[in-house]
Structure 1
């Protein structure tokens, strides 16, 4: 409850009701004005159910209503919200036969005729979902700054037990005495709630955590959606003695040396304090800060139950700290009582262990796209996409990867493109909002996107060669990434070995391509083409005749006759006697086709071709 005077002199009261961060019909904002004489009564409705299927039977009670002067009240009910009061008395029953939403109104009137009004909505045809918080347990312990994993279960009569998690909303707040302050919120059926690092209310205040969950269903039969809720209280690990929930026989006294500025005194045999709710899930011990000399006992459920732990407080000056194991702490949620043999003043109890905090690291996986190498021998020939995924009992805060052996980590919350060539070891991990870090996974990615380097010598690019020439092409390939580069070559589609002389007379006159094809170990291919041209001339034919004779492809008589005829044709050509030169060249071609003179048919055909090329005035 918060109170503040307004500029109009009225007192404004914000009443949080009896719950935290959820639908709460008892919450309200009130204006209080000073008025002499009789005060109006306050109307309060309680209903045993507020939603369900038709016919819906509802029992209403107005016994929580009150009158400032304690006068006898009269009660009038408008149970269907039609503006007409149709029942009287402090309790009434009503059956709603049809689907719909109805405003049940209550008017209470005191003996002087002043009245108060309130209402409660009743939903027929759509039952509100039942929400259960599966974790953390009600009354669990945490430290400020912890992340607390949560999970819920939903049972809706119309929608079933598989919730739409987008409709599940959570709110975490600071419970402070009987009200709360929202801190953060989110959605989802599971996750991790990050608590503030500091409660922010000072050492003396009774502050705890409250986790509230709401779930809104889909509606049914034309009836609007309904909301169900649940909440758990979370206790700080440090519980001040004076912040008990109930007690008998004790006194709270100021003490500046106490951790909360106050202590518990007059704690005698038969006296007790109790905390409720409490769950010892994840708790393994308690550290007690007390003074005096005596025995404290922790009991479950009642002040006279058998102790499940005892604390021997030693005599000594000032506060003594005693740590006690809680190996036999009870399970579930309940009420814990602290009793004493007498002679002890109690400052605080600090419960030890993880409690409900998230201490479990995420599980992390990684996938690549393409999922398998698209090159040869385990190599990728393209960039690779890395996707890091993680699961956690709370909330995954981030995913990271490293390509420098973990020296630096980069975000992998979105897909990551790996482009560095060579073999790269990629490490990956995930963190949750509790600060837990997963085990580091690793994989190796081998990328070679670049084809091998090709060198080709022996033939000049765009070179012009007489067909009597015998150039020697030399080619090779290297690869700096995957290695293992091999190279092959062709001239006009026919294989050519590196370092092997190329007899140009065997090629047609004209344009040609030397094509070198290299392939690395990853399967990348590089092609290099060297274009060149072959032609002929009297000098080339003369040199070719000499080479062919040396190679045994022309007889001695053939060499003699061909050389003579070639000289005659050249003399005519030099003198400008074109027709005579052409006739002699045709005769030369005839000699070249005579197997008695040129036994090798390929050589004869090449010589005849060259002669006719000169005859036509062609040189290439």
Structure 2
């Protein structure tokens, strides 16, 4: 009948003590096949290592793409023939943490790693999901001879000088000890601790197979440590047999090399948001978000960043907001759960959120006669990216800070000084000062005197006509004053009397402005 059932077995001995076990049986839904692809069964590790793993799940009904969050694993501490769980987790890949304090159970204890991985599929119609699992053994690098999984012909003897307080004796030709399972991934050699004199042979899957390595124990007093390279060690998982020529007592074996413990640091990278600076010359004009990402053959434990050259590090497991203004070299790194630290990456972040400071002096709002001059002064500063440029203009006239501006070069009427400061990030500060340029008989006289002194005006007719016009105006004879100014303008247009075109234009302009003033209605 289709469905899911729990089968229980109870066994009772003659004294009435009993044992109970159960298993799940699903009819009508094939259980998923769980495979631990890495590490290999029987691989070696050090207590405290993180062991990278990769799990594959294949299901007849669901296919080969499991929900990795439903892949459950348990790392247990094996002890002789039992195990108790240490850590739990989920995922198709990652790294199993192993307890560094496991050897504290005692030097005589036979301890090892046991991993159980399980997965429950989606079910089939009304039939509940079926459970599939896989089990894996991990060997500590130090294997005591007396803890062999199987043996023939040898004797276990207690010995306080032995590393596990016991040893194997009566190890004669034809005798053997065996460890099952064993996988030599990451193992480069073995150190044998033995006494006596003779040769040990390491064989694969059979006590009579050809040896892939031999250990010659030299004669001597007490325990001898013999290092042997395992360049021809077999691949995959199998059963390791150790045989002897006789005459040798064995304490244990310490396998050398990384084994399957994680010694590979994470690969780390970082991105900034915005991806490109919004300002000029590589400057950001607002906050920047730093995101540190990392991948690892095991499990990434943490990501960090530093703003002081790596002196101190802060958590970057979540995106980090960089807000301080200035240029800073951001260091970033990642650490896996084995303690391996990635190479340090670097990225320079420049942030300037503040426009330059600008001050303008030497020009004030108000009226200025066009015979005068102004000296605008407009210093700028920027504490972060620095000042890129400061420009100023009155209309089309470019102005230099600290350099006088002759107002006769400006148009009569309203004028505006515009000063613009720009920093290297592209921030702009702008200030304006509005003022008015006027003219009068006094201004025109002062200009004429100055132009004449400069050799730009010849003869005295212009001066005579201007003084005559001013006299008529002072006496209220407007028509006569206008007539004199018209004559002044006529002579001012003569290049023989005024050699500079700009000077001719301003003299005529001012004369016409005075005529307009004289003709204007009173109070208008």
Specify if TM > 0.5: yes
Aligned partners of 1:598 and 1:604 also within 8 Å? no
1:348, distance to aligned residue in structure 2 (A): 1.1
Query: What are the ranges of 5 or more consecutive residues in structure 2 without an aligned counterpart?
Result: 494-504
Alignment partner, residue 546 of structure 1 = 445
1:320, distance to aligned residue in structure 2 (A): 1.3
Whether 1:163 aligns to 2:163 is no
Alignment partner, residue 15 of structure 1 = none
Question: Residues 107, 379 of structure 1: CA spacing in aligned structure 2 closer, same or farther, 3 A cutoff?
Answer: closer
Q: Please list the CA deviations of residues 348-371 of structure 1 after superposition, one character each: whole Å capped at 9, or x if unmatched.
A: 111111011111121122222222
Q: Please list the CA deviations of residues 543-568 of structure 1 after superposition, one character each: whole Å capped at 9, or x if unmatched.
A: 32323434589933542244224434
1:103, distance to aligned residue in structure 2 (A): 5.2
Alignment partner, residue 496 of structure 2 = none
Aligned partners of 1:558 and 1:597 also within 8 Å? no
Whether 1:563 aligns to 2:470 is yes
| Structure 2 counterpart of 1:286, from 174, 184, 190 | 190
Equivalences for residues 161-310 of structure 1 within 5 A: 161-199=64-102, 200-310=104-214
CA–CA separation in structure 1 for the residues paired with 2:472 and 2:127? 114
User: Which stretch of structure 1 is more off in the superposition, 387-396 or 278-287?
Assistant: 387-396
Aligned partners of 2:216 and 2:226 also within 8 Å? yes
Alignment partner, residue 135 of structure 1 = 38
Question: Residues 330, 612 of structure 1: CA spacing in aligned structure 2 closer, same or farther, 3 A cutoff?
Answer: farther
Whether 1:615 aligns to 2:522 is yes
CA–CA separation in structure 2 for the residues paired with 1:270 and 1:254? 23
Whether 1:364 aligns to 2:268 is yes
CA–CA separation in structure 1 for the residues paired with 2:287 and 2:211? 66
Alignment partner, residue 323 of structure 1 = 227
**What TM-score does the superposition give when structure 1 sets the normalisation length?**
0.72
After superposition, the CA RMSD in angstroms is 3.3
1:508, distance to aligned residue in structure 2 (A): 5.8
User: Which stretch of structure 1 is more off in the superposition, 592-601 or 367-376?
Assistant: 592-601
Question: Residues 319, 466 of structure 1: CA spacing in aligned structure 2 closer, same or farther, 3 A cutoff?
Answer: same
Whether 1:515 aligns to 2:418 is yes
CA–CA separation in structure 1 for the residues paired with 2:19 and 2:224? 56
CA–CA separation in structure 1 for the residues paired with 2:245 and 2:210? 14
Question: Residues 106, 422 of structure 1: CA spacing in aligned structure 2 closer, same or farther, 3 A cutoff?
Answer: closer
1:425, distance to aligned residue in structure 2 (A): 3.2
Alignment partner, residue 405 of structure 2 = 501
CA–CA separation in structure 2 for the residues paired with 1:128 and 1:303? 37
Stretches (4+) displaced over 4 A: 102-110, 115-121, 419-423, 462-468, 476-484, 504-510, 551-554, 584-595, 597-601, 608-614
1:589, distance to aligned residue in structure 2 (A): 7.2
Aligned partners of 1:592 and 1:598 also within 8 Å? no
Aligned partners of 2:466 and 2:485 also within 8 Å? no
CA–CA separation in structure 2 for the residues paired with 1:489 and 1:375? 23
1:333, distance to aligned residue in structure 2 (A): 0.4
Equivalences for residues 366-385 of structure 1 within 5 A: 366-385=270-289
Equivalences for residues 335-414 of structure 1 within 5 A: 335-414=239-318
Aligned partners of 2:358 and 2:379 also within 8 Å? yes
Aligned partners of 1:479 and 1:485 also within 8 Å? no
Equivalences for residues 463-478 of structure 1 within 5 A: 465=368, 469-478=372-381
Q: Which has the higher contact order (CA 8 A, sep 6+)?
A: 2
Give the SS at the match of 1:615.
coil
CA–CA separation in structure 2 for the residues paired with 1:105 and 1:482? 77
CA–CA separation in structure 2 for the residues paired with 1:515 and 1:107? 98
The count of aligned residue pairs is 495
Query: What are the ranges of 5 or more consecutive residues in structure 1 without an aligned counterpart?
Result: 1-95, 570-583
CA–CA separation in structure 2 for the residues paired with 1:518 and 1:391? 47
1:614, distance to aligned residue in structure 2 (A): 9.3
Alignment partner, residue 333 of structure 2 = 429
Alignment partner, residue 499 of structure 2 = none
1:167, distance to aligned residue in structure 2 (A): 1.4
Question: Residues 615, 231 of structure 1: CA spacing in aligned structure 2 closer, same or farther, 3 A cutoff?
Answer: farther
1:128, distance to aligned residue in structure 2 (A): 2.1
1:448, distance to aligned residue in structure 2 (A): 3.7
